[in-house]
Chain A
Amino acid sequence: MDRQEIKDTIKKTLKDMMNKNDLVINDDDLFYEDLGADSIVIVQAFLTCQEKFDVLLADELNLMEPVSVNILTDLICKKLEERAS
């Protein structure tokens, strides 16, 4: 799986859910603290990625911990590697 594809999926989901197509999202921006995404937007980003990349993210969601595009991408890549091994 291409890491950039995962990042693009996350960014597109955030923009769609927040109704902000022109939002600039840097890879290290924190969803809640920097982008102003609420908990439901974050949950939807996890849900979209879980379905698209076919990895279980439900047990990894923790709304008290900061999450960025890079952090979520790392998590998905780790899950994909676990599945492949």
Chain B
Amino acid sequence: MDRSYIRGMGMYVPETTYTSIEIEERAGYDKFGIKKGLVKMLTGCESRHYVKDGEHSSDLAANAGRNALEDAGIEPSDIDAVLFCSITQDFAEPATVNVVMDKLDIRNAYSFDIKNACNAFISGLDVADSLIKSGKAENVLVVSGEALSRWTKFDYDDRDELLQRAPAALSVGDGGGAFVVSKATENEEGRGIVNSRFHTMPEVWNNNVIWGGGVVYPKDASLLYIPGTTKALIDMHQDVSRNYIPPVMKKSGWDKQDIDCVLVSQVAKWITKNIRNIIGVEKEIMPEIVETMGNIGAANIPIMACEARRMGILKERSKTLILGGAVGANMGVMSVVM
């Protein structure tokens, strides 16, 4: 059976940044007499990037995808499948992947969007792996572009909502990330996606719902915003570590001392710290971007991978654990030799 491996990666973040204090002022903390600093204290987010007017999810994804193609050393014409994996999208129809492909001049590929909240990118990697293993593709561009600031609420008129839910919602940021996943040859012996485990708990779907944008509320654009996270999701996120990492590591034949890098979705620094303690790895191999970029949804993983490589944590053949919890709720763990 064919195997897949991560051939290239790329990221892109918009130029403009905002501090958490600036975002809190914009959301009305002063107006409602709420002490500023909550966002940073709760999540660790100090600043984040926001798109400018006219910059969309497809732009973020295309810029990241272009960098990933260059990193992989292949042309747009070499790509035979593209998967756009994000929370945000340009519009309801058609799939945003079409716009991304047009911007990247990819003309002869199979494509579709993958929706799975913050785990969309990990799901995309899994699908790319399957397409390659089944012989349906040789080079798959898995790409995410999150313009989450577009779905961030700033016009609060309820102090309790602003106080209780906004600190997590206001920590989101914008950015794009991409992997080129390719069919491995004998030159890539030992590299690739080793094992993965996914699980969905549909009974808690009613947590952190973006109510707008679907047929339930087809005309109410005021409901199209990220409401903030809930304790049920935080608990679930940590359950990923306790219950899903050990079997993936066992099936991969890895002990904790074998792990070179851990990439985990970025919700809050203290959640990352707890997961690190549960796995039993050192802080140095677990990069964080929440402080300078906030929570970038599905793009967290590829952006963090690029940052980990820039910092020298992630190298070719690094044994890497990728894990995430997402609204839905679903969890995913993947072991990859980069």
Contact = CB atoms under 8 A, between A and B. Distances in A.
Are A and B bound to each other? Answer: yes
Interface of A: 38-40, 43-44, 46-48, 50-51, 57-59, 61-64
A58 B44 contact: yes
A62 B163 CA distance: 19
B254 interface: no
30 contacts: A38-B164, A39-B231, A40-B38, A40-B42, A40-B163, A40-B164, A40-B167, A43-B41, A44-B35, A44-B38, A47-B37, A47-B38, A47-B41, A48-B35, A50-B37, A50-B41, A51-B37, A58-B40, A58-B41, A58-B44, A58-B269, A59-B269, A61-B270, A62-B270, A62-B273, A64-B234, A64-B238, A64-B270, A64-B271, A64-B274
Contact of A47 (B35, B44, B269): B35
Given A61-B41, A62-B273, A64-B274, 4 more contacts: A40-B38, A48-B35, A58-B269, A64-B238
Contacts of A48: 35
A39 B42 contact: yes
A47 B21 CA distance: 13
Contacts, number: 42
Q: Which 8 residue pairs of A and B lie closest in terms of their CB atoms, listed nearest first?
A: A62-B270, A47-B41, A43-B42, A47-B37, A43-B41, A64-B274, A58-B41, A61-B270
Interface string B3-23: 000000000000000000000
Nearest to B40: A58
Interface residues of B, number: 18
A64 B44 CA distance: 15
Contacts of A40: 38, 42, 163-164, 167
A39 B42 CA distance: 9
A57 B234 CA distance: 21
A18 B38 CA distance: 16
A68 B35 CA distance: 22
Contacts of B234: 63-64
A43 B164 contact: no
Contacts of A59: 269
A43 B24 CA distance: 15
A59 B35 CA distance: 19
B35 A62 contact: no
Contacts of A57: 41
A75 B139 CA distance: 52
A13 to B, nearest CB: 10
Interface string B34-56: 01011011101000000000000
B167 A43 contact: yes
A48 B34 CA distance: 12
Contacts of A47: 35, 37-38, 41
